[in-house]
Amino acid sequence: MAPENDWRMTPMSRRRFLRGSALSAATVGATTSLRSAPVLSLQQLSASAPLFVSTWPFGKPANEAGMAVLTAGGLPLDAIERGIGVTESDTTNSSVGLGGIPNAEGVVQLDACIMSGPGHRAGSVAALEGYAHPIAIARRVMETTRHVMLVGEGAGKFAEHQGFERGSVVSAKQKAAWKMWRKEQQQASRGEGKPKNHDTIAMILLAPDGNIYGGSSTSGWGYKLAGRVGDSPIIGGGLYVSNKVGAAGATGIGENVMRYCGSFLVVELMRQGMHPQEACLETIRQIAAMDPKGFDLSINFIALDRSGRFGAAGTGQGFEYSVTTRESSRVLQSPGLTSTDIGPVGGNRK
Ligand code: GLY
């Protein structure tokens, strides 16, 4: 096996791994000055439960809706479903829910998944058409079937059978933009579009009783090929929860996360003792070390662990993520990684 494909902790890879951890701290400091908001130190990235961490500034109202559910005595899974449901209902959001950019055929196809730490349960739907709240349908898959994932027409039939209300398939605004896009494509005789707007909501929760939950929802890559599924509904790709360790979620170009089981890797690195933010940084570093595009990939991770430590990291300038506790609700800046920040990764990239 080529060294860059070997993730086992051999003595050599353990040395690289530890060297990577040391670089993380240096990188955080080195990139802070390039950002509008400061990147917090690892010591500041800790809070008591309930703790919601989600991707992007649009995760803040989602977290707050989830917190309101807990405050009213709701279950953690209700909080995840309700919080992500807020983003799915936001018709100004062009990357989640039915306000999302459609696929190349002008149809919005949605992906979502949900995980419960207790019981290590999961539910997922992909390429779902005509339903505004895939997160609720993913939860229903988890709670009422013996399966984990339903896709396409079958997922739609399941939703209908379960009594979910159908929504409009694509917003008027997005339909008009799609028509323009299609005209440009025909004129240029091109096929599938470049990645456009792939900002997922991933939300992870350390509940008051110490259990961990997560969910993820997206309309995916704008103007994607019909049937394309990204990382967001893939357990271990766009989301992973281990009740013994913590949780991680992803946003960015799904193809570059799912090929590396990105969220699973973040959790696995936390299992080996890393702080959640270091685990996010190290995951990006390991992916960049294996991928021909290196740090030019667009990938971002959030993570939290059982003790309430949390963090995030992205490629390039990093990204903004939202953190909500009973005391505060904030949008924070993650550190970012570029090849100029840290130089050759782990010495294993040709
Ligand atoms: N990360 C969302 C997607 O690529 O579909």
Domain ranges of the chain: 43-337
Which residue's CA is the closest to the ligand 1 atom numbered 4? Answer: 254
Nearest atom in ligand 1 to 251's CA? 1
232 lines ligand 1 (CB under 6 A): yes
43-337 in CATH: which number? 3.60.20.30
Ligand 1 touching residue 219 (CB < 6 A) = no
For residue 342, name the pLDDT band (cuts at 50, 70, 90). low
The one catalytic residue among 27, 87, 200, 324:
200
Spatial contact of 89 and 136, defined as CB atoms under 8 Å apart: no
CB pairs under 8 A, 24+ apart, for 148-153? Answer: 148/122, 148/123, 148/124, 148/235, 149/113, 149/123, 149/124, 149/125, 149/233, 149/235, 150/124, 150/125, 150/126, 151/125, 151/126, 151/127, 151/229, 152/126, 152/127, 152/128, 152/227
CA of 67 to the centre of ligand 1 (A): 26
Site to substitute for ligand 1 among 93, 197, 218, 259, most atoms within 8 A of C-beta: 218
Check residues 235 and 347 and name the one with the higher pLDDT.
235
> What was the pLDDT predicted at 3?
27
Atom 1 (ligand 1) nearest CA: 254
Q: Which amino acid is at 297?
A: L
- Tokens 């055929």 sit at which residue? 105
| Paired sense of beta strands 320-324 and 329-333, if any | antiparallel
Q: How does residue 194 score in pLDDT terms, banded at 50, 70 and 90?
A: low
**pLDDT at residue 22, as a whole number:** 32
d(CA 195, CA 218): 14
pLDDT given for residue 37 in this prediction? 65
Residue 19 has pLDDT above 70, yes or no: no
pLDDT score for 195:
58
Q: For residue 29, what pLDDT band results from cuts at 50, 70 and 90?
A: very low
* Rounded Cα distance, 124 and 56, in Å: 22
Share of the chain above pLDDT 70, in %: 83
Which of 211, 210, 212, 267 lies closest to 238, judged by CA? 267
Dihedral of CA atoms 288, 225, 241, 24 in degrees, nearest 10, equals 20
By mean pLDDT, which of 15-24, 256-265, 304-313, 321-330 is the weakest?
Answer: 15-24
Write down the pLDDT at residue 170: 84
> Alpha-carbon distance 45 to 284, whole Å?
19
Say how many Å lie between the CA of residue 72 and the centre of ligand 1: 32
279 and 262 Cβ atoms separated by less than 8 Å: no
Burial of residue 175 (number of CB atoms within 10 Å: 0-12, 13-18, 19+): middle
pLDDT at residue 32 above 90? no
Cβ-proximal residues to 65 (8 Å cutoff; 6+ apart), any chain? 82, 83, 85, 86
Find out whether 344 and 18 touch, Cβ atoms under 8 Å.
Answer: no
Cα 198 to ligand 1 centre (Å): 5
What token pair was written down for 25? 């701290």
Residue 177 has pLDDT above 80, yes or no: yes
> What is the pLDDT of the chain when averaged over all its residues?
86
Question: Distance from the CA of 136 to the center of ligand 1, in angstroms?
Answer: 19
Pick from 55, 34, 4, 46: which is nearest to 336 by CA? 34
Q: Which of 87, 224, 253 most suits a substitution to test ligand 1, by most atoms within 8 Å of the C-beta?
A: 253
Does the structure show a pLDDT above 80 at 31? no
**Quick one: which of 104, 117, 314, 331 has its CA closest to 210?**
117
pLDDT, one tens digit per residue, over 250-270 is 999 999 999 999 999 999 999
Predicted pLDDT of residue 198: 63
Q: How far is CA 342 from CA 23, 29, 209, in A?
A: 7, 12, 39
Q: Torsions phi, psi of 311, nearest 5? A: 175, 180
Q: What is the mean pLDDT of residues 46-71?
A: 97
Q: Is the CB of 335 under 6 A from ligand 1?
A: no
Helix locations, the chain, DSSP H: 11-32, 59-71, 76-89, 134-144, 152-161, 172-188, 255-258, 262-271, 276-290, 339-342
Instruction: Please determine, for residue 282, whether its predicted confidence score (pLDDT) is greater than 80.
Output: yes
Reported confidence tier of residue 345, pLDDT bands at 50, 70, 90: very low
Q: What's the rounded Cα separation, in Å, for the pair 304 and 311?
A: 7
Our answer on whether the CB atom of 300 is closer than 6 Å to any ligand 1 atom is no
pTM of the predicted model, to two decimals? Answer: 0.86
Nearest ligand 1 atom to alpha carbon 238: 1
Ligand 1 pocket, residue 83 CB under 6 Å: no
Q: Is 10 annotated as catalytic?
A: no
Closest alpha carbon to 279 in 246, 257, 231, 328: 246
The answer to whether the CB of 254 is under 6 A from ligand 1 is yes
Residue 339 has pLDDT above 90, yes or no: no
Comparing 40 with 348, the larger pLDDT belongs to 40
